[in-house]
């Protein structure tokens, strides 16, 4: 296993152990940690694509309910992971899960729109995942998914200050470790909050931090040709060249 892959896997296991010790109060009633129950798939991703330094690291906020929650891979829309990344693995279930938000792994029938759009853009531009990963990598800032009693997704930026600060301290440290391992020129936050966390973690380093539009269908702008808009943003930043 290449050195970077080993280091990324070790860092992910440490992150998993640290966030597993945290406790959260309502409205959060269930916490999913795919680094734990979907470890096999996540580590397959790190092992297969985590070798070598990268020019660009893309970073999302935290697992989506039909993405990384199901597959263990950032923005891990099932079809994209299975058919393009060629990763499939047995996925367990969280010890305490909300029946309204089941974990079905690669049998999940729902498509994560954000993941479908993101990986779809990379497939369209680069063709093969090996070409994309020569210069790029994708991570999530926070590995945990938060669920309310009624089954709704709860994003980490909305946590109470005390709970959020404990989580951010751990996630900041892990992000800095990822940047040390991969030594990117660019860290691109997928959405504003991810960019803000990236700026703090990269402070004092040579890493340049930028932002791209989040592909979530909850964003009206993202529903008006997200791939084109995201590409234009990356070209304007200087992350990508105009084709």
99-106 long-range Cβ contacts below 8 angstroms, 24+ apart = 100/147, 100/150, 100/151, 101/30, 101/32, 101/65, 101/69, 101/147, 101/151, 103/32, 103/37, 103/38, 103/69, 103/70, 104/70, 105/38, 105/70, 105/71, 106/70, 106/71, 106/78, 106/81, 106/82
Contact 107, 73 (CB under 8 A): no
| Host H or E run for residue 137 | strand 136-140
The pLDDT assigned to 1 comes to 62
Please provide the distance, in angstroms rounded to a whole number, between the alpha carbons at the two ends of the chain.
34
> CATH code for 3-237?
3.40.470.10
Q: What is the pLDDT along the chain (243 residues), one digit of tens a residue?
A: 679 999 999 999 999 999 999 999 999 999 999 999 999 999 999 999 999 999 999 999 999 999 999 999 999 999 999 999 999 999 999 989 999 999 999 999 999 999 999 999 999 999 999 999 999 999 999 999 999 999 999 999 999 999 999 999 999 999 999 999 999 999 999 999 999 999 999 999 999 999 999 999 999 999 999 999 999 999 999 999 998
The pLDDT assigned to 243 comes to 81
Query: Whose structure tokens read 């891990």?
Result: 76
**In terms of Cα–Cα distance, which of 11, 33, 13, 12 is closest to 22?**
33
Q: What is d(CA 47, CA 21) in angstroms, rounded to the nearest whole number?
A: 26
pTM: 0.97
């Amino acid at each position: 296993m290449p050195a970077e892959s080993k280091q990324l896997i070790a860092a992910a296991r440490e992150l998993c152990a640290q966030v597993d010790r945290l406790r959260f109060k309502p409205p959060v009633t269930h916490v999913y940690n795919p680094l734990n129950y979907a470890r096999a798939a996540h580590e397959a991703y790190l092992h297969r694509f985590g070798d070598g330094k990268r020019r660009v690291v893309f970073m999302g906020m935290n697992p989506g309910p039909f993405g990384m929650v199901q597959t263990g891979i950032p923005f891990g829309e099932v079809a994209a992971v299975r058919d393009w990344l060629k990763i499939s693995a047995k996925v367990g279930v969280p010890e305490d899960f909300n029946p309204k938000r089941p974990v079905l792994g690669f049998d999940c029938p729902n498509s994560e729109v954000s993941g479908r759009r993101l990986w779809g853009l990379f497939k369209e531009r680069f063709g093969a995942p090996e070409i994309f990963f020569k210069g790029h990598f994708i991570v999530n800032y926070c590995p945990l998914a938060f669920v309310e009693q009624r089954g709704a997704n709860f994003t980490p930026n909305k946590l109470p200050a005390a709970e959020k600060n404990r989580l951010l301290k751990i996630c900041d440290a892990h992000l800095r470790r990822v940047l040390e391992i991969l030594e990117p020129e660019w860290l691109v936050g997928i959405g504003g909050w991810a960019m803000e966390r990236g700026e703090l973690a990269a402070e004092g380093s040579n890493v340049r931090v930028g932002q791209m539009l989040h592909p979530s269908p909850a964003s009206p702008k993202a529903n008006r040709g997200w791939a084109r808009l995201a590409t234009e943003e990356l070209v304007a930043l200087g992350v990508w060249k105009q084709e």
